[in-house]
Amino acid sequence: MKTPSRTNARPDAELLTQVARGELGGLGELYDRYQRDVWRVLTRTMVHPGDVDDLVQATFLELPKIAASFDGRDSCRAWLCGIAVRLASRHRRGFGRWLRVLTAFGNEARQRPAVDPQSSAIGRQELRVLERALGKLSAKKREVFVLVELEGLAADDAARALEIPAATVRTRLFHARAELLEGMKREAGW
């Protein structure tokens, strides 16, 4: 669908070339020419009504980064609509991840039992003992212990993160656990 009064308008390819060079004057012309088409596509692809205007803006704000990839067709309408649909899809996935995290956080908070003050004080004291013992480990052992035991990484993932062999991670973890147990015993006076 062509918009009226395009007889004196510059070609889309020329405007996108201008945008690709960093001259953003063409961006306004493209927006005026195609924002209704992009809006309609987003509305029809079941994007939440509250997100449509933001995604239209995001589509056109993406152009300076990708304008050079336009293939030079007479009209960039279909290309822009494709960009909008991909951004909407990415937005839905991101929102879905955020919603799952938020739901899990809410479920965890509801399942937490009430803690009495005495138990809370004992827990804080035990945490301080652990922190002091952890502070006495060498940096390399502490890094491995934190990644595997406290952050829940698998030994192979910790090895990749630290750029060391997995066997080295397991060795350091073995020694870190032993040293921590001894350190905690000393700190707590067991």
Mean pLDDT of 16-40: 93
Q: Can you give the residue ranges of every domain in the chain? A: 12-108, 122-188
* pLDDT at residue 1, rounded to an integer: 46
- 151 band by pLDDT with thresholds 50, 70 and 90: confident
Q: What share of the chain has pLDDT > 70, as a percent? A: 79
**Residue 88 to residue 49: CA distance in whole angstroms:** 12
Nearest to 38 by CA among 51, 25, 26: 51
DSSP state of 70: -
CATH architecture of 122-188: Orthogonal Bundle (1.10)
Residue 81 is which amino acid?
C
96-128 pLDDT tens trace: 666 666 677 666 655 656 556 766 666 677 777
What's the CATH fold of domain 12-108?
A: Rna Polymerase Sigma Factor; Chain: A (1.10.1740)
Would 12-108 and 122-188 be classified into the same CATH topology? no
* pLDDT at residue 161, rounded to an integer: 77
- 4 band by pLDDT with thresholds 50, 70 and 90: very low
What integer best gives the mean pLDDT of the chain? 82
Helices (H), the chain: 12-20, 25-44, 49-66, 77-111, 117-135, 139-145, 155-162, 166-188
Contact 30, 61 (CB under 8 A): no
Q: Which two tokens stand for residue 159?
A: 């090895």
61-90 pLDDT tens trace: 999 999 999 988 889 998 998 888 888 888
